Chain A
Amino acid sequence: MAVITPDVHSDGSGAAEHEPHSDLVYWKVGGFLAALTALEVSTYWWDENAFTSAALIIMMLIKFVTVALYFMHLKFDAKILQRVFFAGLILAGGVYLAALGAMVFFDNSGTEVYNDPPRSKPLPPPATDPPPIIREIHKPH
Chain B
Amino acid sequence: MTETLTAPAVAHDDHGHDDHGHLPTNTGVTNEKLGMWVFLGSECLMFGGLISTYMLYKNRPGNVVGVRGRDLAGSSLRPSELYDIPFTSASSFILLASSLTMVFAVNAAKRNQMQRMRSYLGATAALGALFIGGQVYEFTTFVREGLGFTTNVASSAFYVLTGFHGVHVSIGILMLVTTIALSLRGRIPHARAEAVEIVGLYWHFVDVVWIVIFTIIYLIK
Contact of B107 among A13, A26, A40, A113 (CB under 8 A): A26
State whether B9 touches A6 (Cβ < 8 A): yes
Say yes or no: A64 contacts B212, CB within 8 Å.
yes
Which residues of chain A are within 8 angstroms of B27 by Cβ–Cβ distance?
A: 78, 80-81
Inter-chain contact A37/B7, CB cutoff 8 Å: no
Asked whether A4 lies within 8 Å of B208 as measured between CB atoms, the reply is no
Which A residues between 81 and 140 are near B, CB-CB below 8 angstroms?
81, 84-85, 88-89, 92-93, 96, 99-100, 103, 105, 113-117, 119-120
Min distance, Cβ B116 to any Cβ of chain A, angstroms = 10
In the bound assembly, the distance between CA atoms of A18 and B86 in angstroms comes to: 39
How far does the Cβ of B163 sit from chain A's closest Cβ, in whole Å? 20
Question: Given A2-B3, A17-B19, A116-B59, do A67 and B219 touch, yes or no (CB 8 Å)?
Answer: no
Task: State whether A33 and B96 are in contact (beta carbons under 8 Å apart), knowing that A3-B5, A6-B7, A40-B219 are contacts in the complex.
Answer: yes
Q: How far is the CA of A59 from the CA of B30 in the complex (A)?
A: 32
Bound complex: CA A63 to CA B63 (Å): 35
Cross-chain contact B93 with A34 (CB below 8 angstroms): yes
Residues of B in contact (CB 8 Å), total 64
Question: Given A16-B29, A88-B41, A115-B59, do A72 and B204 touch, yes or no (CB 8 Å)?
Answer: yes
Q: Size range of the interface on A? A: 35 or more
| A15 x B63 contact (CB < 8 A) | no
Q: Which residues of A contact B (CB under 8 A)?
A: 1-10, 13-17, 19-21, 23, 26-27, 30, 33-34, 37, 40-41, 43-44, 48, 53, 56-57, 59-60, 63-64, 67-68, 70-73, 77-78, 80-81, 84-85, 88-89, 92-93, 96, 99-100, 103, 105, 113-117, 119-120
Q: Which residues of B contact A (CB under 8 A)?
A: 1-10, 18-20, 25-30, 34, 37, 41, 44-45, 48-49, 51-52, 55-56, 59-60, 63, 85-86, 89, 92-93, 96-97, 99-100, 102-104, 106-107, 110-111, 197, 200-201, 204-205, 207-208, 211-212, 214-216, 219-221
